[in-house]
Chains A and B, each alone.
Chain A
């Protein structure tokens, strides 16, 4: 039986403006991105018969949750045969996999997927008293009660601990880790929507204020406001779309084989990555050396370290050596990494930015930042610390 990945393709890309404190309603950003994706695919709302998103409408989640599936369906008066949203899935890109499954199951021809964040604006509204903090006051539950009382309130703390253990046992240096943000910043200079585009030196990186050791300011991604949307179409319907072709799916990895935990599993690598990475390669004959680029989750620089190793781009404990000097991951290196600047410099598009960038590159529409020699394959990922997923994409 032909694998389900071959039943669908990405036919439309859409993105709202991206920025810090845009002071726009998240639904307005969502509508911008969704209409752009439909237009890019050459479709109307009557053609859209599925909607999938991450995380959906999550009460109390502030700027993390931009617009729910139901909100968007109502605002655009969509009539989906199937829709889905959820926080509990295989990373942000798990919502793309759900869309692929809805298509492969025959429920939908064109699924609209979106992810909206408005974290920068939300914090600004809080600071100026225009919105009340919704999380304070009550007692903690849902797993947070084991970290927050100790001031371990941020993923910077939780991931900082893994990074410290990894560096202690495998000898990765701060300079080697810094190649990930430095590479991101170099790539962001070529990306018009990136949040931070000015040059950054190793000295800038090393002298930045410490957030939670060993992580400094530039090891942490940039909260921003943005929405990114895609149309996932059935392969038989791709010909109806504007380009007449789409970006293909070669393999998905969604397995979750570890404890869903920030402290009860292996302390060298963030949880939720190992299973997804292993599953990915079982669903394709392609190997890591066949990847023309990698767009790997960099909510923190250390997330990318974990993905690089777990996906097999280097051996156990060897990520530091792999990153040394930064040449391998550069635009002209053996594995161009996060070619839009990633989330560290491009902005926290929260997973969807990696799929967007991979599609742009595979369609040859990267403009100034287009990788040379017509890239044919990309591996992308989201997650780490929480269950993640990885996908391999192919050029039309």
Chain B
């Protein structure tokens, strides 16, 4: 768990609270349809594949693949200082489930679309923000 800076944070609702607090035990969780197995994100009351209303919160491996990436150089908010890396990662369990997140602990010239990543959480107030670091590097540390 990395220490936090003062970030703008999500409003926690009954629908999304499980997602944003999931990292408390180091695990990433998503909604999964009990009928067809489809993962659903962002949190929603209905499976977008089969329209079943029976969804449950399940832990996932936390492994993902880098699907798109940008290095941000412009300051948008005084509390988050550039440069920093923003990426879209695809979940190992279902690649259509993506998170926009920060890619951490990775040099800019080592960023590569398709690279394996693993979740790490940053605790900010009552929120655990999922971020992603190179999988290999993490296992070494």
A binds B: yes
A151 and B80: CB pair below 8 A? yes
A263 to B99, CA, bound (A): 7
A211 to B72, CA, bound (A): 6
Interface locus among A34-42, A142-150, A325-333: A142-150
Known: A145-B10, A164-B113. A152 touches B86 (CB 8 A): yes
A14 to B127, CA, bound (A): 49
A264 and B98: CB pair below 8 A? yes
A165's contact among B11, B74, B97, B113, by CB below 8 Å, is which?
Answer: B113
Contact-size category for A: 35 or more
Residue of A nearest to B108 (CB): A213
Write out the residue numbers on chain A whose beta carbons fall within 8 Å of the beta carbon of B71: 210, 212-213
Write out the residue numbers on chain B whose beta carbons fall within 8 Å of the beta carbon of A146: 10, 42, 99-100
Query: Chain B, 101-135, contact with A by CB distance < 8 Å: what is the 0/1 string?
Result: 11000000000010000000000100101010000
Residue of B nearest to A165 (CB): B68
Tell me the chain B residues, 1-45 only, with Cβ under 8 Å from chain A.
7-13, 16, 41-42
**Number of chain B residues whose Cβ lies closer than 8 Å to a Cβ of chain A:** 38
Residue of A nearest to B82 (CB): A151
Shortest Cβ distance from residue A198 to the other chain B in the assembled complex, whole angstroms: 23
A152's contact among B12, B67, B100, by CB below 8 Å, is which?
Answer: B100
Interface locus among A59-67, A90-98, A133-141, A177-185: A133-141
Task: Indicate if A154 sits at the interface (CB-CB under 8 A).
Answer: yes
Known: A140-B10, A157-B86. A151 touches B70 (CB 8 A): no
Write out the residue numbers on chain A whose beta carbons fall within 8 Å of the beta carbon of B68: 161-162, 164-165, 267
Shortest Cβ distance from residue B73 to the other chain A in the assembled complex, whole angstroms: 5
Shortest Cβ distance from residue A163 to the other chain B in the assembled complex, whole angstroms: 8
A139 and B74: CB pair below 8 A? no
Dominant SS at the B interface? strand
Write out the residue numbers on chain B whose beta carbons fall within 8 Å of the beta carbon of A264: 41, 96-98
Task: Indicate if A218 sits at the interface (CB-CB under 8 A).
Answer: no
Task: Indicate if B62 sits at the interface (CB-CB under 8 A).
Answer: no
A151 to B67, CA, bound (A): 18
A267 to B99, CA, bound (A): 12
A161 and B113: CB pair below 8 A? no
A161 and B70: CB pair below 8 A? yes
A153 and B88: CB pair below 8 A? no
A180 to B13, CA, bound (A): 43
Tell me the chain A residues, 152-173 only, with Cβ under 8 Å from chain B.
152-154, 156-158, 160-162, 164-165, 168-169
Write out the residue numbers on chain A whose beta carbons fall within 8 Å of the beta carbon of B101: 150
Known: A157-B70, A267-B88. A149 touches B98 (CB 8 A): no
Residue of B nearest to A161 (CB): B68
Task: Indicate if A262 sits at the interface (CB-CB under 8 A).
Answer: yes
Shortest Cβ distance from residue A256 to the other chain B in the assembled complex, whole angstroms: 15
Task: Indicate if B69 sits at the interface (CB-CB under 8 A).
Answer: yes
Shortest Cβ distance from residue A195 to the other chain B in the assembled complex, whole angstroms: 19
A209 and B84: CB pair below 8 A? no
Write out the residue numbers on chain B whose beta carbons fall within 8 Å of the beta carbon of A138: 11
Write out the residue numbers on chain A whose beta carbons fall within 8 Å of the beta carbon of B13: 141
Shortest Cβ distance from residue B11 to the other chain A in the assembled complex, whole angstroms: 3
B10 and A151: CB pair below 8 A? no
A151's contact among B42, B69, B76, B113, by CB below 8 Å, is which?
Answer: B76
Residue of B nearest to A143 (CB): B42
Shortest Cβ distance from residue A335 to the other chain B in the assembled complex, whole angstroms: 28
A154 to B82, CA, bound (A): 13
A263 to B113, CA, bound (A): 15
A139 to B8, CA, bound (A): 7
Write out the residue numbers on chain B whose beta carbons fall within 8 Å of the beta carbon of A145: 9-11, 16
A161 and B86: CB pair below 8 A? yes
Interface centre among B8, B87, B97, B98 (most CB of A within 10 A): B8
Write out the residue numbers on chain B whose beta carbons fall within 8 Å of the beta carbon of A212: 70-74, 86
Interface centre among B77, B80, B86, B98 (most CB of A within 10 A): B86
Sample (12) of A-B pairs whose CB atoms are under 8 Å apart: A145-B11, A145-B16, A148-B77, A149-B8, A149-B124, A151-B72, A156-B74, A157-B70, A157-B72, A160-B70, A212-B71, A263-B88
Beyond A150-B129, A157-B86: 9 further Cβ-contacts under 8 Å? A146-B99, A147-B100, A149-B7, A149-B8, A149-B127, A151-B76, A169-B113, A210-B71, A212-B71
Pairs A-B, 4 closest by C-beta atoms: A145-B10, A139-B11, A160-B70, A153-B76
